[in-house]
Chains A and B, each alone.
Chain A
Amino acid sequence: MLANLINGISLGSVYAIIALGYTMVYGIAKMLNFAHGDVIMVGAYVAFCAITGLGWPPILAVLASVAVCTVLGIIIEGLAYKPLRNATSLAVLITAIGVSYFLQNAALLIWTSNTKVFPNIFADLPALQLGSTQVAPVTLITVLANIVIMLALTFFTSKTKMGKAMRAVSEDKGAATLMGINVNRTISMTFAIGSGLAAIAGVLLCTAYPTLMPTTGAMPGIKAFTAAVFGGIGSIPGAMLGGVLLGVIEIFGKAYISTQLSDAIVFAVLIIVLLVKPTGLLGRKVREKV
């Protein structure tokens, strides 16, 4: 029971970190970046290569991974989405799916379809003993990382000039422009942050579940998107809550109901929540503005 809860929170924390990327990008660019899950995969591969190929210490590998994904996020936004700023949301969605396939196939070319075994980067750290339950270091670090990221983002969006500008852009791009805010740069910045977080999520995910292949990011990406919607898309605490709840529901579903059905249960819960509260748990109504 306790072990399942801890596993659920840990998996959920990974979802939450990914969901933060979805939710920030949605909040500001009003688009679903379906390629977000694949950025996780790229992040994991970069860290993998740095550790096993170059022999870098894990911390440096993570930093490299964050750097690569941050730049990747900016490039994806600039090349694929920026030209579509005034296009229909369907066109943007299809493009996002295209970017997702592109990243997966690029990974296939670079790293082949052979499954890589991701190293346990926290192997040196001791496990935590909670009664009769052992908590693996990766679990603890994932949960801590989630909390730190959430606090940092909350601080960033509520206290810094750039963060407040992001909120302004998310509310009303035209009015934000009139304040002198460069909307394109702000959107680009949001992709950078979301993608950098995706890299961290990728490393944590693959440390906990060490199989790495070009499709590794796809399912967690969809789950995290679900988590973002579940918590209320656009809301930072919502992404955290949605992610953690989703992880817990998934692990409990697996443990007590059915391994095969656990994903179905996750999506069923999402549908029920959306029927009762269409804006998600912590979401608020968005007023559409020109």
Chain B
Amino acid sequence: METMLQVQDLQVYYGSIHAIKGISFEVKEGEIVTLIGANGAGKSTTLNTVGGLLKARSGKILFEGKDLHGMAADRVVARGMALCPEGRRVFQHMTVLENLEMGAYTRPASEAADSLEKVYALFPRLKERYHQIAGTLSGGEQQMLAMGRALMSRPRLMMLDEPSMGLAPILVKQIFNIIEDMNKQGTTILLVEQNAQMALSVANRAYVLETGRISLSGDASELARSEEIKKAYLGG
């Protein structure tokens, strides 16, 4: 498998706050890789930096072999990497369909119908509600919309920031099933989660982030069995 994303010795600051203290990780084509860690560990900072929303102080971000360092988020999307941000951030006052159209902003109009069909196939709920204002959707539906919207850019790598946040267990299950489906359809996935158990159950490999450093990494199913992880993240 080819390496799709390679992050090397990444350092990110918020002013004088040193949030990411030199992390390195990689995602290979076709994988689901998860980055788990407690609240405030630096998971979102990492994804936002890779996605171009934040600038790294130093380090390398190689996507399909090319350095993305300093590239703004709007150009990163066009390169084939989408970020589905924490808190969903759908456009509340726009309709479901308009949100999806915005997702396809970088793509030629000729693709739109086909992309929509694919997204609707993964998220039939969105098709039922295409005309509804996004702000009136339930939390689970908004999460589906955020994911569908990110898919509209036809990313080769999809980064998801806490897709299960604030959702009822049954919906969490559904969202994770969809993540697996997306992956089976050929999208490589970098998943950030506080729900370590679910994340480890779908991922191939995992990295554990602790206050800006990677403390553990390895095969997801092995990590799920490790005593350290069980104590810290899986409630026993």
Which of B78-86, B167-175, B215-223 touches A?
B78-86
B228 at the interface (CB under 8 A from A): no
What residues make up the interface of B, taking CB atoms closer than 8 Å to A? 51-53, 72-75, 77-78, 82-83, 85, 89-94, 98, 101-103, 105-106, 149-150, 153
A-B contact count (CB 8 A): 68
Point out the residue from A175, A177, A183 that lies within 8 Å of B91, measured CB to CB: A175
For A287, the chain B residues whose CB sits under 8 A away are 92
Residue of B nearest to A186 (CB): B74
A181 at the interface (CB under 8 A from B): yes
Q: Among residues 266 to 290 in chain A, which have CB atoms less than 8 Å away from a CB atom of chain B?
A: 284, 287, 289
Q: Is the CB of B77 within 8 A of A178?
A: yes
24 A-B contacts (beta carbon < 8 Å):
A161-B105, A165-B102, A167-B93, A167-B94, A168-B94, A168-B102, A171-B94, A174-B53, A174-B73, A174-B85, A176-B102, A178-B51, A178-B77, A178-B89, A179-B102, A179-B103, A179-B106, A179-B149, A180-B75, A180-B77, A180-B78, A181-B74, A183-B74, A284-B93
CA–CA, A203 to B92, complex, Å?
38
A177-B73, A179-B77 given; A171·B105 CB < 8 A = no
Q: Is the CB of A177 within 8 A of B105?
A: no
CA–CA, A167 to B90, complex, Å?
12
Classify chain A's interface size. 20 to 34
CA–CA, A179 to B151, complex, Å?
10
Question: Do most interface residues of chain A lie in helix, strand or loop, or is the interface mixed?
Answer: helix
Given contacts A174-B53, A180-B74, 9 further A-B contacts (CB under 8 A): A164-B101, A168-B94, A174-B85, A174-B89, A176-B102, A177-B52, A178-B74, A178-B77, A179-B105
For B92, the chain A residues whose CB sits under 8 A away are 171, 287
For B98, the chain A residues whose CB sits under 8 A away are 164, 167
For B78, the chain A residues whose CB sits under 8 A away are 180
A89 at the interface (CB under 8 A from B): no
For A179, the chain B residues whose CB sits under 8 A away are 74, 77, 102-103, 105-106, 149, 153
Tell me the minimal C-beta distance from A183 to chain B in angstroms: 7
For B103, the chain A residues whose CB sits under 8 A away are 179
Tell me the minimal C-beta distance from A169 to chain B in angstroms: 10
Residue of B nearest to A182 (CB): B74
Q: Is the CB of B85 within 8 A of A180?
A: no
CA–CA, A172 to B73, complex, Å?
14
Q: Is the CB of A181 within 8 A of B89?
A: no
Tell me the minimal C-beta distance from A114 to chain B in angstroms: 48
For A181, the chain B residues whose CB sits under 8 A away are 74, 102, 105
